[in-house]
Amino acid sequence: MRIEALEPHQVFVFGSNASGHHGAGAARMALERFGAVWGEGHGLHGQSYAIDTMSGLPTIEREVQAFLAFAAEHPELELLVTEIGCGIAGYTPEQIAPLFLGGPGNVVLPERFRAVLERD
């Protein structure tokens, strides 16, 4: 599913780098369409939420845990997760999807992440 537009209660969740240089892929889309801020590589900005996927798997784990805590605190939002970490960062859905296990119901995972979680 390619996210082209958002409803007011939706947030575009994308992979970033620690320095917030949103130059390509979903990060660039977040910058151009959904309120991401150049230089901000973590957290909520506008209708986007950045997760650092370029600083190693342990960092992604911490960032996803912080994101899931944010999601639990904001049940009024629908958080649309892109395939974070599976582009430039070079991880597979099998490596990233399990990090979202036990997340709240307002977190909407991409199809390939759901497929991984359903077969485990």
Q: 115 in the Ramachandran plot: left (φ > 0), alpha (ψ -120 to 50) or beta?
A: alpha
Q: Identify whether 99 is part of a domain.
A: yes
Write out pLDDT tens, residues 54-106: 999 999 999 999 999 999 999 999 999 999 999 999 999 999 999 999 999 99
Q: Per the structure, how many domains does the chain have?
A: 1
For residue 112, is it within any domain? yes
- Residue 5 included in any domain: no
- With respect to residue 65, please indicate whether it lies within any of the assigned structural domains: yes
Q: Residue 1 above 70 pLDDT?
A: no
- Domain extent at residue 55: 10-118
Asked, for residue 4, whether it belongs to a domain, the answer is: no
Q: Name the band, by pLDDT with cuts 50, 70 and 90, for residue 23.
A: confident
Residue 46: which CATH number? 3.40.220.10
